[in-house]
């Protein structure tokens, strides 16, 4: 399955781990939105021998009980150099 990169413009991108990041480490990203959430995780720049796309995740629309809410995702850079979501 090929991903349509036009759906993920650079202006929406966020660098989660910089080159030389401490291993292992975890980060949390948060969203405040009711609409479905799509996340594309990829290597930047490309890593020779690896697919640029690490993972693609999509959540359904949220139906929060309260006005103030958030959706959190935990991303871990493992001791094996893998990204888990």
pLDDT in tens, 16-35: 777 777 788 888 888 887 88
Beta bridge partners of 83: 77
Query: Can you give the residue ranges of every domain in the chain?
Result: 21-84
> Residue 3 pLDDT more than 70?
no
Query: The pTM is what?
Result: 0.59
Q: What pLDDT score was predicted for residue 1?
A: 45
Please give the Cα distance from 32 to 10 (Å, whole number): 20
């Amino acid at each position: 399955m090929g991903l349509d990169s036009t759906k993920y413009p650079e202006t929406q991108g966020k660098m989660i781990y910089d080159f030389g990041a401490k291993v292992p480490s975890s980060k949390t990203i948060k969203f405040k939105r009711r609409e479905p959430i799509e996340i594309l995780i990829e290597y930047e720049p490309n890593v020779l021998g690896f697919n640029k796309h690490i993972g693609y995740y999509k959540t359904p629309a949220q139906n929060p009980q309260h006005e103030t809410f958030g959706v959190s995702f935990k991303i871990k850079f493992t001791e094996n150099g893998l990204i888990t979501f």
